[in-house]
Amino acid sequence: NNIKYKCGGEMKKTILILLLFMYSYCFAVVITSQGFESSINDVWSYSNTPSSGTIAVSNLKYYTGLKSLRFGGSSSGNSDPYTTFTNIDLSNYSNVQFSISFAMEGPDADDDLYLQISYDNGVTWNGQGSIKLIDGYSEGVLNFGNTNVSNPTTVSSNPYVVNISDAYDQISIRIKFDE
């Protein structure tokens, strides 16, 4: 019953890892899935925009399976790489939930991880549920399932769950590593 994503970072500078789920809990139906395992369940298409940073599937850290998507920073410290997952039609579903689990290792103080949600096919990226997941902290470490109240500061739950209003008939997800 899940959509899976995992994300991470570069060398010692930053490693951020995500696992995403989307499902309709009323019927416990998987709407789409991406676990970066190259399995038949990995059907949610995505595109990477690394700028001068890096985005790559990796087996160094993972939540489930053996792989994750890692985000890495740049030497300039301002590349802001992101991954965009394709727009999904929600018109035939109700009580949809989206959740994301995350981890990090070694980000700098200004390295943050954002969940950005669009309900208008990517025209805007500040829809209900958009949030800073991790407020980076120098050389911070956080394992999947854990949260921190400070240094680094994270959202209060991991996985972070967004209840999608039935008023929305589509959703796009973007994960952004803000250097």
One-letter amino acid at 133 equals L
Please state, in angstroms and rounded to a whole number, the distance separating the CA atoms of residues 23 and 2: 6
Beta bridge partners of residue 97, listed in sequence order: 23, 163
Nearest to 73 by CA among 91, 100, 93, 51: 51
C-alpha torsion sign, points 106, 111, 112, 118: negative
- Per the CB < 8 A criterion, the answer to whether 152 and 137 are in contact is yes
**HSE (CB half, 13 Å, CA atoms) of 91?**
2
* Strand pairing class (68-72; 160-164): unpaired
Per-residue pLDDT of the chain in tens (179 residues, 90 and over written 9)? 233 333 333 333 333 445 555 556 555 677 887 888 888 888 889 999 998 888 888 887 666 778 888 888 887 778 899 999 999 999 988 888 887 878 787 777 788 899 999 999 999 999 998 999 988 877 778 877 888 888 888 889 888 888 899 999 999 999 999 88
Find all residues with CB under 8 Å of 148, minimum gap 6, and list them. 140, 142, 154
**Hey, what are 45's tokens?**
């298409």
